[in-house]
C-alpha cells in the first residue's frame, strides 16, 4: 500500500495536467461523456505510439463521443514503463505497453514478450486469443486493478536482434558487449557474458551517440527505421532467435471497465482487435521495405552468426526450465501452455 501511495504522489502533478486538459463533447450532449486517459509506452515517432493514438481516436469516434479516450505519449503522464502502475491506480484507464516492462511485478510477464524461444507472431496472437493466453495473463495480474482480453495483443514481426557499432562474428563478440536489452532476453544475454542495461527507447539514439552502449535491441525493422537508428549504428543484425515477435498489449483499469455500458465495451473490444491486427500487418509490410532503406543508408544488414543463435537458444531453454521450478506456479503455467501450443503449431507446418 505504501508503494502505491508513493507512486500516486509521484505522478500527482502529471495527473493534474491531464485532468485539466480539454476534451471533445459527445455527439449527443444530453449525457456527460465518460473520459478515459490512455498512454502508449514509446516516443511519438514509434509506430506503436501512433497506432495507440489512432485507437484512442477511433473509440471516441465509434462511440459518438460517449467515451472520449485521450491519448498520451509514453513518459508524458508517468515515468516510462510505469504505465501499468498508473492503470492500477486509476491515473490512467488504459495503456498500450510491452508486458516485459512489468517484470518488477510479475516474473511471468517476460514470457508474453519479445523473448528467446517465444512464439512467432501468428502463433502468439492465436494462443493469446484462443489458447487461453489472455486468461493466463489476467490470472498472473490477480490482485492488481488491471485486466486485458482477447484481441488486445498485437504480436508484431520479429525484433531486430541488434543495432550495433560492433561487428558480430562469433560468441566471443557477445562477451562484454555493452548492450541495451530488455526483459528476459537481457537476462539471458547477461548470462552469456554481455553487459546489458535498461534504457527507455526514446533515449537510445543519444546513448549510442555518447558511447554509453555499443548495441541495442528495440523493435521491428520498420519501427527502428522511423527512429533514425540507421544514423547511430552501422550494423543491423536480424534473427528470430532472440525475439520471434515483439508483442504489445492493451490493458484497462478493471473498475473503469466494469462501469462501461455493454455497448461501449463492445466498441472498445472491436476497435482494439482491429487496430492491433492492422498494426501487425502494417509493420510486417513496412519491415520488408525497411531492409532496403537501411542498406541504401549505408548500413550492413546481416544475419546473426549461427553459433550465437545456437548458444542463445540453449541458454534460453535452460533459463526458463530453471525459472519454472523456482517462480510462482503461474510462471510454469504460462511457460508450458505456450510451449505446448508452439509444439502443436509447429507440427502443422
Question: Are 181 and 257 members of one domain?
Answer: no
CA distance 78 to 10: 8
- The reported pLDDT for the residue numbered 119 is 93
Question: Are 219 and 263 members of one domain?
Answer: no
The distance in angstroms from the start CA to the end CA of the chain is 49
- The reported pLDDT for the residue numbered 9 is 42
Question: Are 187 and 53 members of one domain?
Answer: no
Half-sphere exposure of 267 (CA within 13 A, CB side): 20
> Is residue 116 situated within a structural domain?
no
Question: Are 267 and 173 members of one domain?
Answer: no
Question: Are 209 and 72 members of one domain?
Answer: no
Question: Are 337 and 280 members of one domain?
Answer: no
Q: Which of 60, 63, 108, 109 is nearest to 83 (CA)?
A: 109
> Is residue 205 situated within a structural domain?
yes
Question: Are 190 and 292 members of one domain?
Answer: yes
Question: Are 227 and 304 members of one domain?
Answer: yes
Q: Which of 116, 68, 94 is nearest to 244 (CA)?
A: 116
Question: Are 171 and 47 members of one domain?
Answer: no
Which of 258, 284, 310 terminates a domain? The answer is 284
Question: Are 168 and 56 members of one domain?
Answer: no
Kindly give, in sequence order, each residue whose CB lies less than 8 Å from that of residue 321, ignoring residues fewer than 6 positions away: none
| Tens-digit pLDDT profile for residues 230-270 | 999 999 999 999 999 989 999 999 999 999 999 999 999 99
The domain total for the chain is 2
> Is residue 134 situated within a structural domain?
no
- 328 neighbors 111 (Cβ within 8 angstroms): no
How many whole angstroms from its chain centre is CA 81? Answer: 10
CA distance 173 to 12: 45
- The reported pLDDT for the residue numbered 12 is 42
- 10 neighbors 89 (Cβ within 8 angstroms): no
Question: Are 259 and 307 members of one domain?
Answer: no
Domain that holds residue 167: 160-244+286-347
CA distance 118 to 116: 6
- The reported pLDDT for the residue numbered 201 is 87
Question: Are 255 and 237 members of one domain?
Answer: no
> Is residue 334 situated within a structural domain?
yes
> Is residue 166 situated within a structural domain?
yes
Looking up residue 316, the CATH number of its domain turns out to be 3.40.190.170
**Spans in the chain with pLDDT lower than 50:** 1-29
Amino acid at each position: 500500500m505504501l508503494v502505491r501511495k508513493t507512486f500516486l504522489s509521484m505522478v500527482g502533478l502529471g495527473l493534474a495536467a491531464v485532468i485539466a486538459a480539454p476534451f471533445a463533447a459527445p455527439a449527443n450532449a444530453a449525457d456527460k461523456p465518460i473520459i478515459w486517459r490512455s498512454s502508449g509506452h514509446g516516443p511519438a515517432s514509434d509506430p506503436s505510439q501512433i497506432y495507440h493514438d489512432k485507437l484512442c481516436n477511433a473509440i471516441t469516434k465509434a462511440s459518438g463521443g460517449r467515451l472520449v479516450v485521450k491519448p498520451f505519449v509514453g513518459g508524458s503522464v508517468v515515468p516510462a514503463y510505469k504505465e501499468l502502475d498508473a492503470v492500477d491506480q486509476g491515473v490512467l484507464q488504459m495503456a498500450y505497453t510491452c508486458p516485459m516492462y512489468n517484470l518488477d511485478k510479475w516474473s511471468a510477464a517476460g514470457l508474453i514478450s519479445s523473448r528467446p524461444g517465444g512464439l512467432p507472431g501468428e502463433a502468439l496472437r492465436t494462443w493469446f486469443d484462443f489458447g487461453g493466453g489472455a486468461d493466463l495473463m489476467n490470472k498472473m495480474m490477480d490482485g492488481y486493478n488491471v485486466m486485458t482480453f482477447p484481441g488486445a495483443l498485437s504480436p508484431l514481426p520479429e525484433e531486430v536482434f541488434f543495432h550495433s557499432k560492433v561487428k558480430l562474428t562469433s560468441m566471443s563478440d557477445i562477451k562484454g558487449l555493452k548492450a541495451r536489452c530488455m526483459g528476459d532476453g537481457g537476462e539471458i544475454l547477461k548470462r552469456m557474458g554481455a553487459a546489458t542495461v535498461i534504457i527507455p527507447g526514446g533515449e537510445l539514439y543519444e546513448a549510442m551517440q555518447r558511447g554509453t552502449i555499443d548495441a541495442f535491441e528495440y523493435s521491428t525493422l520498420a519501427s527502428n527505421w522511423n527512429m533514425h537508428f540507421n544514423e547511430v549504428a552501422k550494423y543491423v543484425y536480424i534473427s528470430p532467435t532472440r525475439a520471434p515477435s515483439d508483442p504489445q498489449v492493451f490493458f484497462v483499469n478493471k473498475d473503469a471497465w466494469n462501469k462501461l455500458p455493454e455497448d461501449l465495451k463492445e466498441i472498445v473490444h472491436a476497435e482494439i482487435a482491429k487496430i492491433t491486427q492492422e498494426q501487425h500487418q502494417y509493420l510486417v509490410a513496412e519491415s520488408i521495405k525497411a531492409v532496403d532503406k537501411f542498406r541504401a543508408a549505408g548500413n550492413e544488414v546481416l544475419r546473426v552468426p549461427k553459433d550465437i543463435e545456437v548458444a542463445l537458444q540453449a541458454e534460453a531453454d535452460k533459463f526458463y526450465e530453471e525459472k519454472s521450478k523456482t517462480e510462482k506456479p503461474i510462471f510454469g503455467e504460462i511457460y508450458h501452455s505456450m510451449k505446448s501450443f508452439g509444439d502443436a503449431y509447429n507440427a502443422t507446418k
